[in-house]
Chains A and B, each alone.
Chain A
Amino acid sequence: MPERRPRNASDPASAQVTGEASGAGDGGTVSPARVVDGWFTVDPPRLIGTRCTACGTVCFPPQTLTCRNPACENDELVEERLSNRGRIWSYADARYRPPPPYVSGEEFEPYAVAAVELPSERLVVLGQVVRGVGVDDLHVGMEVELVVEHLDPGHVVWKWRPLAGEGGAPPAGAGPGRSDHRQDGA
């Protein structure tokens, strides 16, 4: 019976969301916790996926059960660091405070989100865009790189950052920053 988790997983518990800020960091110093374990590394910032040892299919988030290719019955999946650069497939932003479990403080801070195509893995991955970069600074096809940044005061998460020279203008203000969210967006 094959082992039911990716080999070489560096984290003790795969795909578990951490609790409140524990101060657990990668480098021994006190730093915010990763908001989810086993999905990304902090230094260097890389997404962790899995690759099927039989057909080569890559998955993100990492899979623990079996290959997602219906023509492949292989259960042996190895951990793989995904490319840290890709091109924007599309992007959007959030002008209203999302509901929990998203954590936001008194002052809601709008943020942009980008779906980024990783050419060698041939998949598209979502992520927030780093603070200070709004939709006016982005365009489809723009090259971005993966970084790790605060999500909320207690946690870090992976984010996308435009590469230098990609026309990333200075922060243009990500929006009106309303904190009410009474609209009925489905």
Chain B
Amino acid sequence: MSADVAVLGAGMHPWGKWGRDFVEYGLAAARAALRDAGLAWTDIQFVAGADTIRSGYPGFVAGATFAQALGWSGARVSSCYAACASGAQAMNIARAQILAGLADVALVVGAEAAPKGFFTPVGGDRPDDPDWLRFRLLGATNPIYFALYARRRMALHGATRDDFAAVKIKNARHGLHNPNARYRKEVTAADVAASPVVADPLRLLDICATSDGGAAVVLSSLDFARRNGAGTPVRIPAISTVTPTFPNTVLEMPNFATDSSVAVEPPARPFRAAIAAAAYEEAGLGPEDLSLAEVYDLSTALELDWYEDIGLCEPGEAERLLRDGVTSLGGRVPVNPSGGLASFGEAIPAQAIAQVCELTWQLRGQAGERQVMGARAGIAVNQGLFGHGSAIIAVT
């Protein structure tokens, strides 16, 4: 039995700040994915929603919310929240249903209506919630953590602000021709330098925005795909959603401290690298097999960390890879051909699904002017609060 599932359909609602309800974005994405799959909503046996915590109860039961919006059909349902990995976990739940033989075809949907400004903790006095406490005690916003990683990279590997700007310039160029991207405009080094410092060393244009958006995929068994005339569909051989291994010695949101390594030595692979390694192992391939990668560039500097975490190069070599054009469209392994978070902004529960939409279009050769030529395999990775992260591999 194959451990692969097929991606029959991919669909998105464009990212932006539209000011409408998240259900509308999810519905549009779901319909686009169903159209792309050539299926009707009533063909779907299982619907998996990726939750948003910013839209009240309907957001906490996103699977049912989208199912009701599409019209109750009797499909089985799940909803899950996993911070930035919510979409990946929803896809993994759908995949498990399919691989277990409990469902032949599933719809996965995530959507977000993001507030303006910094992400904030859930409201009210919540003194037992580390996410609330980090704001109350330290004013430690997400960009503060991104800036800590960026500075660490500068100190450890000699990264410069120019390197960070070069990531933005690259991703902006990639996103130019993506109809679903929020920002479709060239960015120059002068633009980055002219943007205000938010959390030194990071400027506004180094940090991803928060966006509205919706993304959906239709997943199925390979048998179902064949029966429905999809001869050689894009396949997903791996979804990794591993947790960190103790002691996690990299400071992570929303924590005040790392684990201590007095009793146990740190694991050979730090968390982000472990997320990717588990996916490679599951898929039976390695970084040398990749045609492209979609990585979670919450900041420009973090994209460079990801190059090393997914094994594109050794630690400390990411800047060289970037400067040599290896990760630009036309290079050996383009990173974020979609334009990445730099061009999209983050719509949390939709983002991991959007990454898989991009992999799907790239592997089908449908990515238009941002097409990676001859794409055969891609990885999509992300990391979020509270020990969440994901790596998904898609192949054709």
Contact = CB atoms under 8 A, between A and B. Distances in A.
A90 B305 CA distance: 15
A123 interface: yes
B152 A89 contact: yes
A186 B142 CA distance: 6
Contact of B116 (A69, A102, A127, A182): A182
Interface residues of B, number: 61
B228 interface: no
| Majority SS at the chain A contact face | loop
Nearest to B145: A92
Interface in B149-203: 149-152, 155-156, 196-202
A21 interface: no
B155 A90 contact: yes
B263 A69 contact: yes
A185 interface: yes
B377 to A, nearest CB: 29
Nearest to A101: B136
Which interface residue of B134, B197, B202, B210 has the most chain A CB atoms within 10 A?
Answer: B197
B135 interface: yes
B54 to A, nearest CB: 13
A60 B143 CA distance: 22
A94 B139 contact: yes
B137 interface: yes
A94 B138 CA distance: 10
Interface stretch (A22-30, A51-59, A163-171): A51-59
Nearest to B248: A68
B127 A178 contact: no
A36 B149 contact: no
A151 B134 CA distance: 13
Given A102-B139, A127-B138, A184-B116, A57 B262 contact: yes
B124 to A, nearest CB: 9
- In the complex, which range does the number of interface residues on chain A fall in? 35 or more
Contacts of A16: 127
A153 interface: no
B285 interface: no
A183 B132 CA distance: 21
B240 to A, nearest CB: 19
B258 A123 contact: yes
Contact of A121 (B133, B139, B149, B260): B260
A61 B298 CA distance: 26
Contacts of A99: 117-118, 120, 135, 141
Contact of B196 (A17, A55, A178): A178
Given A122-B262, A140-B151, 10 more contacts: A57-B247, A61-B257, A90-B148, A95-B196, A99-B118, A121-B262, A124-B258, A139-B155, A184-B117, A186-B298
9 contacts: A59-B259, A98-B118, A123-B249, A123-B259, A124-B257, A126-B255, A178-B196, A183-B198, A185-B117
